[in-house]
Structure 1
Amino acid sequence: MDPVDANPPHDAAGIAADAHAAAPLLNCLLREVAEPVGRAADGVHRLKASGRLLRVRGTRRPTGPEVLTAGTWHPLTHTELVKIAAEELRAVTGLSNSELPAEMLDSREAVAALLTARTHTPTPQDPYRRSEQSLITGHPHHPAPKARGGGPAAGWLPYAPEAYAHFPLTLLGVREDTVVEDGDTTALDTLGTAPPGYRLLPAHPWQLALVGGEAADAFTDGRLVRLGRTDGRVWPTAAIRTVCVPGRSSAGSRDADLFLKFSLDVRITNDVRRLWRHDLLKLRRTDRAVTEAFVDLPGAWLSDRGYRTADFAFEELAVLVRDGLDGHVAPGTTPFLAAAFTEGTDAFPGNPLAGAADPQAWWEAYLRAVVPPALGAFHRHGVVLEAHLQNTVVACDTSGTPVRAVYRDAEGVKLLPDVTREAGWERLVYCLCVNNLLEIAAAVTEHHPGVDLWTAVRRQLGRHGEVPEVADLLDSPTLPGKANLLLRWTGADGADARYLPLPNPIRRSG
């Protein structure tokens, strides 16, 4: 087989889509089922089960994959890379899986559709919205970060943040005797007017097109009625099923004073993104614990105030009400999704990390913003924040320097002693150190070579000597890296993390 001849991309968009889709898949392969060979600069890795040699260029987002065949290096298209990955995973695990390769291919096709759509859509002027909608590559260590359920692009593209989507919500009336709600949901009633005997229930148009069964029957028997659409448009955040409801902020013209999170019966990365009953039932307890913790912590928390749904479609039609940014970031500062800092300037124009005049000071300011609230919540309050890049919003001053972290998403929070302190610490280290700090550090190096990364991290962590686990973190040779490729191949539950040891650059020498 000559890989060059197999399904090559013929246009610039196809070549770019291959590169965007291959990078996270290569990161997974090299982390989970391969080992380096020879000098790091050569980029050669051996797949452990088959012994095949792969060669890549770059480290943070590897490109140009090649396989050694009959003594010659042959370039790989994304399709060929998926085939090699599937063969290797079958050999490693002894299991077959037809679903994941299809998701990998779907992810690449989704990237191609997104890149094409962006060429025809104006870039948002609001820098915060631009950051939330910038993640073309997505999760850097997931084999199919942009998969959208395998459906045609026409079904999901109108709701894709990466395509700069904005759209009205569908408004439903749900009969009062079937309403289930908890917490403060009053904000939902400002979106429209329900007829007598009904309560307002906004719905995500994509999710509404997916639901069936009793939810669909409810339109026939009157438990649900259609009330049209919202007057204004919402825009999707990086989470896809969470949308920002625009509104003027007292801090300026920033259009983010309310977020709504919906169910979405589509697999995005590891999970079908439904608002599951068990998570909703514990939502208020979890959110109260985090809200109370942030009373004496730096940074801020976006409260998941409450939810509303229908008893006959509890999960399918649920909507969660979340604080907006108003009141959580100071006037004169600009919020950015932290994950956007790791994107290139083509995907995220105006990236304050790329434009930092003093990158060392920027990095140290970032650490001051994101580390203390996460460690304080854990040690003083038993709250394990899911402090990864997509749950971290960073407010920056007029120079683009980070000044405050805002965390979000009670669904991903764990509380002690619901989980053991040991398990909670491992999860926090993965989210905060591996998923967040290591990724931002790599982006800092890419934009500004020569920044002293790890001395600054050790210094920041050393200020938290009251947390007993910090000393072990500074002395540990490894960090826990989530094995998303093996997790998906073996069909494990997305919340059932599986970790592999990664070299710890934070470790103190000597």
Structure 2
Amino acid sequence: MHRSPTAEAEVTAELAEVRPGLAPRYAAELPGARAAVLTRLWRAFTHEPLPWVTGREPGRDHVTLRLADGRRLHGPRPDPYATAAYVTALHLDDVAYDDPARLLTGLGVPHGTAFAAELGHSVASLALSRAAQPDGPEGWPGQDWEWEQRVVDGHPFHPNCRSRPGFSVAEQLAYGPEHRPVVELGLWPVPVDECLVSGDWPEELRERERLLLPVHPWQAEHVLKAAVTKATSGGRTWGGARPLMSLRTLALPGGPHVKTALSARLTSSVRDISVYSIAMSATLSAFAESLAGRTGGLLHFTRTLGAATADSPDLAAVLRESPQCYAGEGERVVPVAALATTELPSSAAWLADFARLALTVGLNLLELGVALEAHGQNLLVVLAADGTPLRLVYRDLADIRVSPARLARHGIPVPALTGRIVTDDETTLRRKLFGSLVAGALAGTAGSAAALREALETAVRDLPRTADLDALCGQALPTKALTLMRLSPGTPGDQWAMLPNPLR
């Protein structure tokens, strides 16, 4: 077996310094972390339009990929919707690889060196995340941020599910939500006339002629290169924050969620906050609030309370309502990504009910002219005390798509939006919703093609027939080609793969 010791050895050495008691568990988790990342990578190899894969030869229980250089890569028959690791090794001709970073290095594909390093970080960070989990079963959380901490493995289908280059072990333990830390945010003063503000920036974050922008401590140290004030402002201590699954968004005690700029590459993207998204935030929030009334009470949007930037994606912040605002007595609001960590009342029946709810809302909004980026992080479900899915909550509007033509067709006033959010292209709109909701949130919750098929077959029977539903049922299912995107640094925007449709 071929293995990359680099990232794994770095974590081992750092653990010896900062948390030596965790080292044995970390070492024990490495084989499972390699298999988890290798499984995600195999999904990409077998389904994404990678230019160096020239053919795929399916067998009864395996698949062989023909590569452009004449070599062959062999692996088990893939399930594109599986979330459990089932690939422990792949064979490049006669050489077995159980380490995804070493495999990619062995493939020698264009732009593979940087991606191989990220895969090594993903394995090492995933093993670290798993090693730090408490022993034994846990009950249902009492706080909204506790649900977020349950998502230990990160993105269910991205090989970079836990890649955190630029974060030391100490920083991962201090800031990663799965490590359950408390984070002290800083406050960065900026003259008001140097800021772009959208919505109502709270008085407690104003100081004479300056705005105080909440700043993540990692950003302060590594990007801003300066210390920030850790203080109480307006009667609120901007510390004691709990990081949510996106890492850069944190829940304040008894207060809003704060999305901070964090200029590090996590999974696919550098996580800053664009000036464009700040400029659009208030308009989008008001528009979303008006749309919620058209869903029959089945969907709430978390309101953006205020957003500000010092004219830089590296120094910006967004204040949002906590989704918990939309929970009634005895109800829980759960991020969809956390559902897989929770024992649900009856898996198959529950998943069908949830799929029906999610598709009803998503397709209704798509018909009206709004395509949600409804993946497991942005989409939350309100559960009754007995676990019944009641309605949905959606947060973070920065990546939705809005169709002026569809809005106008339904007599809905078109908001004053510009840029990438606005499109009338039906393929773009459908890919946005189907790729995030069906191939993302629902598939990640189902955990296999068979479970997803059963849930969708039950759910779609009750849905009104529309052109969008016909497209969902009759075409291959789009998903972002996440590995192709990482191996195509010169190609901007999303690239797509088409997965076998469970309904066909």
- TM-score bracket, normalised by the shorter chain, equals 0.7 to 0.9
Q: Counterpart in 2 of 1:296?
A: 294
Moved more, 451-460 or 204-213: 451-460
Among 36, 39, 48, the alignment partner of 1:20 is 36
Cα shift readout 1:359-413 (whole Å, capped 9, x = no counterpart):
3331222023312222222212x21111111111111112222211111111111
CA contact (8 A) 1:365 1:403 kept: no
Q: Counterpart in 1 of 2:419?
A: none
SS of corresponding position for 1:389: coil
Measure, in 1, the Cα distance between the counterparts of 2:325 and 2:3.
55
CA-CA distance at 1:131 after TM superposition: 2.6
Among 69, 72, 77, the alignment partner of 2:99 is 77
Among 420, 424, 430, the alignment partner of 1:420 is 424
1:504 and 2:501 correspond: yes
Structure 2 counterparts to residues 39-58 of structure 1, below 5 A: 39=60, 42-49=61-68, 50-56=70-76
Q: Counterpart in 2 of 1:468?
A: 467
CA-CA distance at 1:302 after TM superposition: 1.0
Measure, in 2, the Cα distance between the counterparts of 1:143 and 1:4.
16
Q: Counterpart in 1 of 2:409?
A: none
CA-CA distance at 1:464 after TM superposition: 2.6
1:287 and 2:285 correspond: yes
Change (3 A) 1:150 1:30: farther
Among 376, 380, 391, the alignment partner of 2:364 is 376
CA-CA distance at 1:286 after TM superposition: 2.2
Q: Counterpart in 2 of 1:137?
A: 153
SS of corresponding position for 1:211: helix
CA contact (8 A) 1:286 1:415 kept: no
Measure, in 2, the Cα distance between the counterparts of 1:435 and 1:181.
33
Q: Counterpart in 2 of 1:250?
A: none
Q: Structure 1 counterpart of 2:364, which letter?
A: G
> TM (normalized to structure 1)?
0.79
Measure, in 1, the Cα distance between the counterparts of 2:394 and 2:336.
10
Measure, in 1, the Cα distance between the counterparts of 2:45 and 2:478.
16
Change (3 A) 1:64 1:306: same
SS of corresponding position for 1:410: coil
SS of corresponding position for 1:327: helix
Measure, in 1, the Cα distance between the counterparts of 2:125 and 2:85.
20
Structure 2 counterparts to residues 6-405 of structure 1, below 5 A: 11-32=27-48, 33=50, 35=56, 37-39=58-60, 42-49=61-68, 50-56=70-76, 59=79, 60=82, 61-68=84-91, 74=96, 76-84=98-106, 86-87=107-108, 90=109, 95-118=110-133, 125-126=141-142, 128-186=144-202, 189-190=203-204, 196-212=208-224, 226-228=229-231, 230=237, 232-247=239-254, 257-297=255-295, 298-311=298-311, 314-342=312-340, 348=341, 351-353=342-344, 356=345, 358-380=346-368, 382-405=369-392
Q: Percent identity among equivalent residues?
A: 25
Measure, in 1, the Cα distance between the counterparts of 2:376 and 2:241.
22
Measure, in 2, the Cα distance between the counterparts of 1:164 and 1:479.
35
SS of corresponding position for 1:14: helix
Change (3 A) 1:340 1:493: farther
SS of corresponding position for 2:229: strand
Moved more, 298-307 or 131-140: 131-140
CA contact (8 A) 1:306 1:321 kept: yes
Measure, in 2, the Cα distance between the counterparts of 1:373 and 1:44.
37
CA contact (8 A) 1:290 1:383 kept: no
Cα shift readout 1:327-370 (whole Å, capped 9, x = no counterpart):
3222211111101223xxxxx3xx033xx2x3333122202331
Q: Structure 2 counterpart of 1:147, which letter?
A: S
CA-CA distance at 1:68 after TM superposition: 3.9
Q: Structure 1 counterpart of 2:343, which letter?
A: P
Q: Structure 2 counterpart of 1:139, which letter?
A: H
Measure, in 2, the Cα distance between the counterparts of 1:330 and 1:244.
19
Q: Structure 1 counterpart of 2:131, which letter?
A: T
SS of corresponding position for 2:313: coil
Q: Structure 1 counterpart of 2:502, which letter?
A: P
For this pair of structures, how many residues does the alignment match?
453
CA-CA distance at 1:177 after TM superposition: 4.1
Q: Which runs of 5+ in 2 are unaligned?
A: 10-23, 405-421
Measure, in 2, the Cα distance between the counterparts of 1:102 and 1:139.
18
CA contact (8 A) 1:389 1:436 kept: yes
Change (3 A) 1:116 1:359: closer
Measure, in 1, the Cα distance between the counterparts of 2:78 and 2:474.
28
Cα shift readout 1:137-193 (whole Å, capped 9, x = no counterpart):
22233221211133422234311112122222113333444343120222xx44x7x
Q: Which runs of 5+ in 1 are unaligned?
A: 220-224, 248-256, 343-347
Change (3 A) 1:305 1:231: closer
CA contact (8 A) 1:279 1:411 kept: yes
Q: Structure 1 counterpart of 2:129, which letter?
A: L
What root-mean-square deviation, in Å, do the aligned CA atoms of Structure 1 and Structure 2 show? 3.2
Change (3 A) 1:64 1:332: same
CA-CA distance at 1:104 after TM superposition: 1.1
Cα shift readout 1:79-127 (whole Å, capped 9, x = no counterpart):
433324x43xx2xxxx334321111111112223323333599979436
Cα shift readout 1:51-73 (whole Å, capped 9, x = no counterpart):
423224874134343344776x8
Q: Counterpart in 2 of 1:252?
A: none
SS of corresponding position for 2:315: coil
Measure, in 2, the Cα distance between the counterparts of 1:393 and 1:386.
12
Change (3 A) 1:13 1:360: closer
CA-CA distance at 1:473 after TM superposition: 2.5
Q: Counterpart in 2 of 1:254?
A: none
> TM (normalized to structure 2)?
0.80
Q: Structure 2 counterpart of 1:360, which letter?
A: A
Change (3 A) 1:120 1:363: closer
SS of corresponding position for 2:439: helix
Q: Counterpart in 1 of 2:455?
A: 453
